[in-house]
């Protein structure tokens, strides 16, 4: 019998992710609906943040076909818009976009929106619809696009242009997918709520499928995070393929020139010193390096201790003021604080850890801390127990030492921003246990928790003082009456003009003594002592 021949062929990027969509979070209708909302909202916020435009985001989920569980997800923003010549590729070609640069963005792989479009095409056969008006344009461009999965190329189903009466800017993306709203809605509501916490400078409107209500988070602060800058790679974060690409793309006559041009924090003096110590000729052309030479250079670059640490201007932390404003406006706690740590680095990638703590108020008590995780301003809702932050918050922080007894109304927010967030998977829902990041999270939580301890200690003192004052106030009538009796002749307490003090006079004197004592100690009560009604029963 003749043997069957094996057939070999390549896959396009679109076909690969079409076949393996679960790795990007599109594993079932429930998760896909959540992921679609998340990816489109991330793109909308990035389009505003990157150009310091105060965001106004509109999100709507509409049931298109109840029998087939088809939902239309629409997200609009007032961001910079997309030049029309790039729209087909931005939405119809996988691994094409503006996020393949070394700076912090919400998205990481350039997959999300395209995966939503591919998933919609797979489950409903309908094209994605895009309306966009670039910054400064008087035109609105409308597209309907499908993806040629085999070629990883856009198919333009429809294309139109309309002149606007006045200049406008922003983008609306609308995609129909198979979804499960009943199972996904809690996650979607929570995602939008946490997005509002991280972006209190945004107006966010959400219309769910029922259409019986509109959820609005109104802007409470106009301060925005400083946009990140694009930076060169750091020598400690280099690998073989990156080195090869840099050598091929950078015009440099010598290795010394190449290092100075290719990497951040490398000057002529430090480049020459490194090359001498690593055994390379500084005047050698980088184009002459063999594979073995490139490998040796990579290892030496990674291990050399003389380079400056990675720059942090590629990062865009939220900052103390924004975190506190977000927690305060959405959760309405009685106490809130936030900490932004100094920039650090792991494997040549800069990162900043931020922590916020909210306590009391309208936060419901739970048996353990309520953890709100964010990475590059993105709320992370799935795989919480697999995240390094959960390990620290749940088992490595002794909350009793910070005067927190569970059940407690405690929310801990952890935000990690980096040019390369160490996610555990393509789904981007949990952070890996990187020692440098773990250390910074611990230190940030402890720093914020110390402020909480001060607040709770003060609150405890005030509650004890309140109990003592209330007890004392109960006895003032009897004490005042007794002192009034004692003040009668021949033993008297005069008020300065020859008259004797009445019971009411003595009550006022005693009350003033209590007020003076409280003022000296700085303790505030939640009622006015002067209005306190003291009667003799």
Domain spans, the chain: 13-217, 235-303, 320-451, 457-531
- The tokens for 155 are 């198919």
**235-303 and 13-217 share a CATH fold:** no
- The tokens for 431 are 């952070």
Cβ-based burial of 68 (10 A; exposed 0-12, middle 13-18, buried ≥19)? exposed
Contact 432, 418 (CB under 8 A): no
What's the CATH fold of domain 235-303? Helicase, Ruva Protein; domain 3 (1.10.8)
Q: So what's the pLDDT on residue 528?
A: 59
Q: So what's the pLDDT on residue 6?
A: 58
Alpha helices of 20-162 — where are they, by DSSP H?
29-49, 87-92, 112-124
Tell me the helix, strand and coil percentages in the chain, rounded to 5: 40, 20, 40
H/E element holding 159? strand 153-163
- The tokens for 299 are 């290892």
Q: Any bridge partners for residue 74, and if so which?
A: 60, 174
Helix, strand, or coil (residue 528): coil
pTM for the model stands at: 0.82
Backbone angles phi, psi at 414, to 5 degrees: -125, 120
Nearest to 431 by CA among 392, 379, 378, 375: 375
The gap from C-alpha 171 to its chain's centroid, in whole angstroms, comes to 22
Between CA 477 and CA 485 the distance in angstroms is 12
Q: For 260-288, b where at least 16 C-beta lie within 10 A, e where not — what string?
A: bebbbebeeebbbebbeeeebebebebee
Helix, strand, or coil (residue 304): coil
Nearest to 465 by CA among 533, 531, 517, 508: 517
Between CA 177 and CA 64 the distance in angstroms is 9
Q: So what's the pLDDT on residue 14?
A: 56
- The tokens for 37 are 């909302």
Nearest to 182 by CA among 156, 208, 148, 151: 208
DSSP code for 230: P
CATH of span 13-217: 3.30.565.10
Q: What is the DSSP string of 358-382?
A: EESTTPPPBSS-EEEEEETTEEE-S
- The tokens for 467 are 């109990």
DSSP code for 253: S
Relative to beta strand 56-65, strand 203-207 is parallel
Contacting residues for 46 by C-beta, under 8 A, at least 6 apart: 79, 105, 106, 107
Number of Cβ within a 10 Å radius of residue 330: 20
pLDDT in tens, the chain (537 residues): 556 665 555 455 556 665 666 566 688 999 999 999 999 999 999 999 989 999 999 999 999 999 999 999 999 999 999 999 999 999 988 766 554 344 555 554 456 688 899 899 989 999 999 999 999 899 999 999 999 888 889 999 999 999 998 888 999 999 999 999 999 999 999 999 999 999 999 999 999 999 889 999 999 999 999 988 888 888 988 888 889 999 999 999 999 999 999 999 899 999 999 999 999 999 999 999 999 999 999 999 999 999 988 888 889 999 999 999 999 999 999 999 999 999 988 888 889 999 999 999 999 999 999 999 999 999 999 999 999 999 999 999 999 999 999 999 999 999 999 988 999 876 678 999 999 999 999 999 999 999 999 999 988 887 887 777 777 777 777 777 777 777 665 444 455 555 667 777 777 777 777 777 767 766 666 555 555 554 444
Q: So what's the pLDDT on residue 151?
A: 85
Give the alpha-carbon dihedral of 346, 320, 423, 172, to 10 degrees: -130
Cβ-based burial of 386 (10 A; exposed 0-12, middle 13-18, buried ≥19)? middle
- The tokens for 125 are 């056969």
Number of Cβ within a 10 Å radius of residue 254: 17
Contact 441, 388 (CB under 8 A): yes
Between CA 368 and CA 268 the distance in angstroms is 53
Between CA 121 and CA 125 the distance in angstroms is 4
Q: Any bridge partners for residue 416, and if so which?
A: 353, 375
What's the CATH fold of domain 320-451? Ribosomal Protein S5; domain 2 (3.30.230)
Helix, strand, or coil (residue 428): coil
Q: So what's the pLDDT on residue 500?
A: 66
Contact 395, 355 (CB under 8 A): no
């Amino acid at each position: 019998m003749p043997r069957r021949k094996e057939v070999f062929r390549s896959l396009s990027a679109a076909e690969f992710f079409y076949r393996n969509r679960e790795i990007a979070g599109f594993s079932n209708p429930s998760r896909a609906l959540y992921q679609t909302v998340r990816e489109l909202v991330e793109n909308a916020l990035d389009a505003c943040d990157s150009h310091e435009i105060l965001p106004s985001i509109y999100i709507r989920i509409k049931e298109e076909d109840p029998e087939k569980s088809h939902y239309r997800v629409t997200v609009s923003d007032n961001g910079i818009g997309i030049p029309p010549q790039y729209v087909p590729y931005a939405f119809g070609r996988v691994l094409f976009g503006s996020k393949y640069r070394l700076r912090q963005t919400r998205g990481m792989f350039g997959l999300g929106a395209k995966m939503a479009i591919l998933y919609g095409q797979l489950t409903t056969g309908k094209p994605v619809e895009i309306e966009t008006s670039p910054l400064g344009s008087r035109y609105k461009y409308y597209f309907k696009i499908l993806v040629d999965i085999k070629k990883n190329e856009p198919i333009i189903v429809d294309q139109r242009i309309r002149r606007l009466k006045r200049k406008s800017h922003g983008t609306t993306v609308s995609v129909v997918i198979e979804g499960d709203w009943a199972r996904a809605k809690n996650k979607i509501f929570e995602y939008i709520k946490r997005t509002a916490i991280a972006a209190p400078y945004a107006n966010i409107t959400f219309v769910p499928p029922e259409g019986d209500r509109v959820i609005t988070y109104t802007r409470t602060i106009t301060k925005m995070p400083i946009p990140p800058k694009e930076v060169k790679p750091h020598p400690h974060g280099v690998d073989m393929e990156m080195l090869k690409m840099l050598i091929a793309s950078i015009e440099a006559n010598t290795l010394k020139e190449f290092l100075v041009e290719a990497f951040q924090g490398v000057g002529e003096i430090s480049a020459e010193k490194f090359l001498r110590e690593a055994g390379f000729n500084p005047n050698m052309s980088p184009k002459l390096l063999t594979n073995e030479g490139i490998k040796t250079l990579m290892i030496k670059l990674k291990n050399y201790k003389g380079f400056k640490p990675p720059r942090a201007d590629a990062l865009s932390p939220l900052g103390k003021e924004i975190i506190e404003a977000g927690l305060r406006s959405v959760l309405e706690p009685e106490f809130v604080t936030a900490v932004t740590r100094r920039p650090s680095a792991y494997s040549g990638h800069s990162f900043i850890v931020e922590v916020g703590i909210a306590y009391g108020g309208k936060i419901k008590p739970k048996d353990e801390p309520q953890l709100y995780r964010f990475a590059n301003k993105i709320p992370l809702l799935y795989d919480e127990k697999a995240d390094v932050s959960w390990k620290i918050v749940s088992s490595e922080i002794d909350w009793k030492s910070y005067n927190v007894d569970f059940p407690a109304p405690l929310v801990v927010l952890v935000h990690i921003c980096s040019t390369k967030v160490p996610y555990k998977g393509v789904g981007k829902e949990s952070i890996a246990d990187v020692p440098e990041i773990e250390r910074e999270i611990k230190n940030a939580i402890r720093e914020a928790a110390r402020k909480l301890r001060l607040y709770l200690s003060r609150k405890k003192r005030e509650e004890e003082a309140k109990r003592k004052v209330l007890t004392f106030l109960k006895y003032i009538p009897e004490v005042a009456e007794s002192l009034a009796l004692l003040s009668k002749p021949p033993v008297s307490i005069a008020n300065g003009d020859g008259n004797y003090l009445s019971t009411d006079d003595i009550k006022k004197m005693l009350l003033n003594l209590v007020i003076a004592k409280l003022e000296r100690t700085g303790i505030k009560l939640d009622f006015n002592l002067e209005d306190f009604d003291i009667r003799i029963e």
